[in-house]
Structure 1
Amino acid sequence: MAHGIADEDPTKKEIIDSPKVIDQKLEQLADWIRNAKHFIVFTGHIPDFRSSINTILPTGPGVWELRDHPGVKRSPTAFTVNMTKAIPSATHMALVELARQNLLQFVVSQNIDGLHLRSGLPSTLIAELHGNSNLEVCKKCQTKCLRDYRTRTAVKAHDHQTTRKCSKCRSTLYDSIINFGESLPKQELEASFEHARKADVCLVLGSSLRVTPAADIPQMVGKRGGKLIIG
């Protein structure tokens, strides 16, 4: 089940390394990836610097914070972004290349933007734990339909029916988004933990690791003695 975030730890501070230290750490990371037996990547938000979409949005508290802290008010400058205009970034494409070279075994994503699949990453190499805003599924015949538009049409949080029908069995299609209090997709979650049990190197990109149970996946790698790199 998708849970909210914990309170901020005031003792934790962001550390900014010098360019020299960053280069040294990148060389070490590259060496770990080359020599890894099972390398996985856990992704949160990966900025898209090549599109017209801002990578830092003045939205104020997000939906997770608003849910867990009812007294917090959303910023009056908050706005929404049309993610269908986004394109895969250099980071997305780098992961595709690592997979092509058989250096990357699996990607676990908290994103719903669908950019990993649009980048060309094979669907067999990714678990989208919180769904995909472009994906709708048929619960009867298990057909999956990947669209070039946002599939969600429902207004109520736990209503996932879309206005479309399955082309194979004509049953109702459902969006794949996971909202608060809903269970994460069983197959994707099991695959994620299975790869975490095998992984000796895990790279975390763009995630605070505060939303469970997704955050438990990279932590499992670290607890097993694997290398856990948080970027």
Structure 2
Amino acid sequence: MSCNYAEGLSPYEHKGVLGIPEKFEAIEKLNEKCEMLARLLSESKHIVVHTGAGISTSAGIPDFRGPNGVWTLEKEGKRPSTNISFTDAKPTKTHMILKKLIDCNKIQYIVSQNIDGLHLKSGLSRKYISELHGNMFIDECSLCKRQFIRSSPVETVGKKCSGVPCASGHNGGRPCRGRLYDGVLDWEHSLPENDLLMAEWHSSIADLSICLGTTLQIIPSGNLPLETVKYGGKLVICNLQPTKHDNKADLIINYYVDDILEKIMNILHLDIPQYNEDTDLTKLASTNIVEWTINKKDVLVLEKVFKAKCKGVKKKKILIKSKRNSTETSNGIENDNCKVIKLEVKEECV
């Protein structure tokens, strides 16, 4: 459960701005903006989607900074009333739509801050996702760094060793003397190298980045969509709360992400697939060793694409959209002059 995961993290006071009121578009305006987003999806050639906790709330997993988020209520000495277990949680409509859009080559990559494993359960291939903060359904070897899918969520967080031997030899690979540990990051941990590289390069070569269900407060993940803008691409933000990068976005949609994407699928005349246990790799992992390691060949191929497009290209200075405040968004989330501690923004902004 999200509460158990949050309680397993080290104490950390600077969790960002909490409990900002949610905003909702009028239906007529929502429909108009969804038409605009559908047009951008059709016109763009390389699209990256950045996902946060807001895409999993309809699965019963509470977010962290929303009005009823884990950390918002924590300040009041309360806990969320809805808090499904990670084992029982199923992919939402958004997860399944993103899987479909990947399969249709409408979007090319997903960068996720989520640790709930719902992208994995949707049947999404490892080739198309960076999991920057880890995954409750993944073990990682301390030596060879290969990752393996679990049938149940890890019992610890913070990259703690389970003592279980590496499973590489069971898949026909070279035996390894390493031990498995959970791959869920704590505050002080560096982001996984290949996940971060893939996320940075995809974001840089993208002509469109779409942010779904995130206030973009955690860095560096929250700043990755700006790489798209710096190299001349467009930025779309879909979230119920204002975000720290609203003033840099080309389009903002304040509504439920499930509803936004359902409208997009209708406009594009695409069916929304249902969750299927047969394609849920956590189910397969109960009887088989299933690997979840990023393929090094995919990293090398993307590096060549990145260098071909971006090497020697001068990044554009990000011009704040003239209709929005250039120093601070209306919700009080400060912009970019903040100090960093690995995963989170310290509240020491000027």
More helix by share: 2
1:99 aligns with 2:108: no
Q: Distance in 1 between matches of 2:69 and 2:114?
A: 19
* Aligned pairs for 1:14-93 within 5 A: 14-45=22-53, 46-47=55-56, 49=58, 51=59, 53=60, 62=71, 73=75, 75-77=77-79, 81-93=84-96
Q: For residues 131 and 77 of structure 1, do their structure 2 counterparts lie closer, same or farther at Cα, with a shift above 3 Å needed? A: closer
Contact 1:39 1:200 in 2 (8 A): yes
Q: Which has the higher contact order (CA 8 A, sep 6+)?
A: 1
Q: CA RMSD in A?
A: 2.8
Corresponding residue for 1:185? Answer: 192
TM-score by length of 1: 0.82
Q: Distance in 2 between matches of 1:102 and 1:6?
A: 35
1:208 aligns with 2:207: no
Contact 2:62 2:70 in 1 (8 A): no
- Greater Rg, structure 1 or structure 2? 2
Identical pairs, percent: 33
Contact 2:140 2:147 in 1 (8 A): yes
Aligned length: 215
Q: For residues 60 and 91 of structure 1, do their structure 2 counterparts lie closer, same or farther at Cα, with a shift above 3 Å needed? A: closer
C-alpha displacement of 1:177: 0.6
- Residues 196-226 of structure 1 show CA distances to partners (whole Å, capped at 9, x for unaligned) of 1111111101100011111110122233332
1:135 aligns with 2:121: no
Q: 1:221 aligns with which of 208, 228, 240?
A: 228
Contact 2:69 2:80 in 1 (8 A): yes
- Residues 58-94 of structure 1 show CA distances to partners (whole Å, capped at 9, x for unaligned) of 86652xx89xxxxx84523457642111001111111
Corresponding residue for 1:69? Answer: none
Q: Distance in 2 between matches of 1:73 and 1:35?
A: 44
* Structure 1: stretches of 5+ with no match in the other structure: 67-71
- Residues 1-51 of structure 1 show CA distances to partners (whole Å, capped at 9, x for unaligned) of xx955446x9x87542211111111111111111111101000011353x5
Q: Distance in 1 between matches of 2:201 and 2:57?
A: 29
* Structure 2: stretches of 5+ with no match in the other structure: 1-11, 170-175, 239-350
C-alpha displacement of 1:181: 1.3
1:161 aligns with 2:161: yes
